[in-house]
Amino acid sequence: MRKCSIWAFLPILFSLFTTAGLWIVYFIAVEDDKIIPLNSEYRKERSKAPPYISIAGDAPPASCVFSQVMNMAGFVAFAIAGLRYIQLKPRMHTPWLNIGSLVALCLACFGMTLLGNFQLSNDEELHNVGTSMTFGFGTLACWLQSVVTLKVNLKNEGRTIGISRVLLSAAITLSVLLYFILMAQHLHMHAAQVQWALVMFFISFLGSFAVEFRHYRFEIVCTDDQDNILSLSETFSEISEHQSDQL
């Protein structure tokens, strides 16, 4: 039986730690009476805010954990995006899909760091830019990866995992649309619940790359061009010496 590649654990660990980190932020904010619980009914006259993720991670100590979680999530997701691009590069007949997915996911990762480091109360405009980048480019990357998964069909698993990713992409897209609709109608409690579901869908999507990563091994190869040139010249020198000895 073939061993599972250690790289399969990277998307899994990303999903587990990011999910755990965000829920820790939520429980800290609830414990400090910054937000109301997700299963409560929101009333405007209350002093507590609705349980949006950005509000939960807006004030210390929750904001400190939130920044760290989003920085780590952005970094690891960036690594996953790079590995996925390398994995698909030799198998793509239409490279723009692979490149577009890489660029979109990298921009979403950058958005994660923005919304994590610029809290809502400190710099609302920049925080919202980060949120838009994360959800906007993240949704685009999910759809591109769904198409790529079906087209490449790695290890004949593309159809199964591709359909799952299409369903997740559809859930993410619907959640984004529903989130903004509920926000426009000032239904903040329902909007916050949809936002949490949206983030869980997105984390699950990135975690699904463990399916393909388990078959592949990624290695970093470091070479010195100067050494290659010297070794090549030494080889030619040895050949010429050998020929002169024969003559």
pLDDT tens digits along 180-218? 999 999 899 999 999 999 999 999 999 999 999 988 777
For the record, the structure tokens of 231 come out as 């070794």
Give residue 3's pLDDT band: very low, low, confident or very high (50, 70, 90).
Answer: confident
**Residue 15: is its pLDDT beyond 60?**
yes
Mean pLDDT, residues 37-48: 73
For the record, the structure tokens of 234 come out as 């030494």
Q: Percentage of residues in the chain with pLDDT exceeding 70? A: 87
**Residue 61: is its pLDDT beyond 90?**
yes
**Residue 128: is its pLDDT beyond 60?**
yes
- 2-16, 39-53, 173-187: segment of lowest average pLDDT: 39-53
**Residue 219: is its pLDDT beyond 90?**
no
What's the confidence (pLDDT) of residue 136? 96
List residues bridging with 35 in a β-sheet: 49
* Dihedral of alpha carbons 200, 33, 113, 72, sign: negative
Do 32 and 58 meet the contact criterion of CB atoms below 8 Å apart?
Answer: no
Note the residue count of the chain.
Answer: 247
User: DSSP states of the chain as a string?
Assistant: -PPPPGGGHHHHHHHHHHHHHHHHHHHHHHHTTSB--TTSPP-TTSSSBP--HHHHTSSTTHHHHHHHHHHHHHHHHHHHHHHHHHHHGGG-SSHHHHHHHHHHHHHHHHHHHHHHHS-TTT-HHHHHHHHHHHHHHHHHHHHHHHHHHHHH-GGG-HHHHHHHHHHHHHHHHHHHHHHHHHHHTT-HHHHHHHHHHHHHHHHHHHHTTHHHHTT---------HHHHHHHHHHHHHHHHHHHHHH-
What's the confidence (pLDDT) of residue 216? 74
Give residue 221's pLDDT band: very low, low, confident or very high (50, 70, 90).
Answer: confident
What's the confidence (pLDDT) of residue 183? 92
**Residue 234: is its pLDDT beyond 60?**
no
**Residue written as tokens 């590649």?**
5
* Dihedral of alpha carbons 224, 230, 234, 240, sign: positive
Arithmetic mean of pLDDT over the chain? 87
What's the confidence (pLDDT) of residue 44? 61
User: Is the peptide bond between 90 and the residue preceding it cis, with omega within 30 degrees of 0?
Assistant: no
**Residue 46: is its pLDDT beyond 90?**
no
For the record, the structure tokens of 237 come out as 């020198």
**Sequence ranges of the domains in the chain:** 6-246
pTM of the model: 0.85
